[in-house]
Amino acid sequence: MIKVTKLDSEIIYINPDLIEKITERPNTVLILTTQKKIVVKECAEEICHRILLYRKEIMKAFTEVITDEEA
């Protein structure tokens, strides 16, 4: 899950696999696969960075599990 801040300063966590599209006009809007729209304070570039870090952590954990099983 990635952490985002809604315009009313509420912090929520979103499954990045559900994000279909990110737009900036001028607010950043996350459009989910369910067509739900969430307006957040973070810019699109920051959201993309957080998604990348999230996926790197998953790959790191997966690699550690595979390495442990081989040992």
Tens digit of pLDDT for each residue in 28-65? Answer: 999 999 999 999 999 999 999 999 999 999 999 888 87
Q: Tell me how far apart the alpha carbons of residues 5 and 31 are, in angstroms, rounded to a whole number.
A: 15
Q: Tell me how far apart the alpha carbons of residues 41 and 70 are, in angstroms, rounded to a whole number.
A: 44
- Judged against a pLDDT cut of 90, whether residue 70 lies above it is answered with no
**What pLDDT sits at residue 24?**
97
**What pLDDT sits at residue 71?**
60
Q: Tell me how far apart the alpha carbons of residues 5 and 11 are, in angstroms, rounded to a whole number.
A: 5
**What pLDDT sits at residue 67?**
72
